Amino acid sequence: MKKGKKHVVLIVLLLLLVIVNLGAQAKSETTKKGTTVTVTPVGTYPVVTEPVSLTFLTLQPVFIEDLNTNRFAKYWNEKTGVNIKWETIPRDAVKEKLNIILASGDYPDVFFGLGSQEQGIGVSQEMTYGVQEHMFMPLNNLIDQYMPNLSKLLEERPGSRQFLTAPDGNIYGLPDFNECYHCSMSQKMWIYEPWLDALGLKMPTTTEEFHHVLTAFKTMDPNGNGKADEIPLAGAISGWNNNLETFLLNSFTYTNLVASLDANVNTAIGFYRDGNTIKTMVNTSEYQDALRYLAKLYHEGLVYPASFSQDSDQLTQLVEGPEQPIVGVVAGGYGGMFSIVGGERYRNYKPMAPLKGPKGAQFSRFFLQAPVIGNVAISKDCKNPAVVARMIDFLYTDEGTLMSNYGFEGEGWKWADTNDFGLDGEKAIYRLLKPWNDMDPQNDCFVMLGVRANTSRIRNGEAVDPNVDIFSAEGLEALLYQKTQELYAPYGYPELEIPTLRFLEEEDQAFASKRLAFANYARQSLVKFVTGVWDVDGNWNEYIKGLEKLDLQGILALNQKAFDRQNSAN
Amino acid sequence: MVKKHSFSDISFDIVNRLFMIFCTLVVVYPIIYIVSSSFSSANAIIAGKVWLLPVEPSIKAYQAVFRNKQVVTGYTNSIIYTAGGTLISVFLTIAAAYPLSRKFLPGRKFFTAMFVFTMLFSGGLIPTYFVVRNVGLIDTRWAIILPNALSVWNLMVTLTYFKTSISEEMFEAAIIEGASDFRILQAIVLPLSQAIIAVIALYYAIGIWNSYFDALIYLKSSSKFPLQIILRNILIINQSDLSMGADMVAMARRQGMADVMKYALIVISSAPLLMIYPFVQKHFVKGVMLGSIKG
**HEC secondary structure over A409-428:** ECCCEEECCCCCEECCCCEC
Asked if the Cβ–Cβ distance from B68 to A441 is below 8 Å, we say yes
- What pLDDT is recorded for position B169? 86
pLDDT score recorded for residue A24 = 43
**Predicted complex ipTM:** 0.74
A184 and A366 Cβ atoms separated by less than 8 Å: yes
Q: What pLDDT, on a 0 to 100 scale, did the predictor assign at position A15?
A: 57
Is pLDDT at A551 greater than 60 in this prediction? Answer: yes
| pLDDT, position A32 | 39
Q: Alpha-carbon dihedral of residues A557, A563, A565, A568, nearest 10 degrees?
A: -130
Looking at residue B32, what is its pLDDT?
Answer: 92
Alpha carbons B295 and B286: distance in angstroms, whole number: 18
> What's the pLDDT score for residue A285?
94
Whether B130 and B69 have beta carbons less than 8 Å apart is answered as no
Q: Which residues of A279-313 are buried (b: 16+ CB within 10 A; e: fewer)?
A: bbbbbeebbbbbbbbbbebbeeebbbebbbebebb
Name which of A247, A231, A250, A209 is nearest A305 in CA terms: A231
Number of residues that make up chain B: 295
pLDDT at B249: 59
- A244, A303 Cβ separation under 8 angstroms: yes
The residue-averaged pLDDT of A113-137 equals: 82
Which DSSP state fits B189? I
B229 interfaces chain A, CB cutoff of 8 Å:
yes
Nearest chain B CA: its distance from A108 CA (Å): 11
Q: How far apart are CA A439 and CA B238, in angstroms?
A: 8
CA angle A72, B246, A413 (to 5 degrees): 45
How many Cα atoms are found within 13 Å in the side-chain-facing hemisphere of A46? 17
The answer to whether the Cβ–Cβ distance between B232 and A11 falls below 8 Å is: no
Interface check for B67 against chain A (CB to CB < 8 A): the answer is yes
Report the pLDDT averaged over residues A509-522. 88
| Element spanning B175, H or E | helix B168-176
pLDDT of A216 reads 94
pTM reported for the whole predicted model: 0.80
* More reliable by pLDDT, A423 or B94: B94
User: Quick check: A90 pLDDT over 50?
Assistant: yes
pLDDT in tens, A523-537: 999 999 999 999 999
Distance CA A222, CA A243 (A): 24
Residues 261-290 of B with CB under 8 A from A: none
Mean pLDDT score, A479-496: 93
pLDDT at A349: 95
pLDDT of residue A23: 45
pLDDT at B16: 94
- A341 to chain B, any CB pair closer than 8 A? The answer is yes
For A286-296, write each residue's pLDDT tens digit.
999 999 999 99
pLDDT bin (cut points 50, 70, 90) of residue A570 is: very low
Nearest by CB to residue A336, choosing from B221, B232, B255, is: B255
Q: With a cut of 50, which residues of chain B have pLDDT below it? A: 242-246, 288, 292, 294-295
The amino acid sitting at A234 is A
Question: How far is the first Cα of chain B from the last one, in angstroms, to the nearest whole number?
Answer: 31
- In percent, the amount of chain A with pLDDT more than 90 equals 49
The angle that helices B7-38 and B257-289 make with each other, rounded to 10 degrees, is: 130
Q: What is the model's pLDDT at position A436?
A: 67
How far apart CA B22 and CA B41 sit, in angstroms, is 29
A10 touches chain B (CB under 8 A): no
User: What's residue B155's pLDDT?
Assistant: 93
C-alpha distance from residue A526 to each of A295, A435, B200 (Å): 10, 42, 54
Interface of A with B in 246-275 (CB under 8 A): none
What is the per-residue pLDDT for A27?
39
Residue A425 has pLDDT above 60, yes or no: yes
Task: Give chain B's radius of gyration (CA, Å).
Answer: 25
Q: How confident is the model at residue A65 (pLDDT cuts 50, 70, 90)?
A: confident
Kindly state the DSSP code that residue A382 receives in the 8-state scheme.
-
Indicate the range of A30-39, A169-178, A255-264, B11-20 predicted with least confidence: A30-39
* Span A475-504, average pLDDT: 90
- Facing residue for A91 by CB, picked from B46, B64, B236: B236
Report how far apart, in Å, the C-alpha atoms of B112 and of each of A93, A559, B88, B153, B219 are.
35, 58, 20, 12, 32
| Chain B residues with CB-CB distance to A240 below 8 A | 242-243
- From the list B138, B141, B248, which residue is nearest A476 (CB)? B248
What pLDDT score does B216 carry? 85
Average pLDDT, chain B: 84
Q: How far is CA A375 from the centre of its chain?
A: 14
* Residues of chain B positioned with their CB less than 8 A from the CB of A337: 242
- A313 to chain B: which residues are within 8 Å by CB? 46, 259
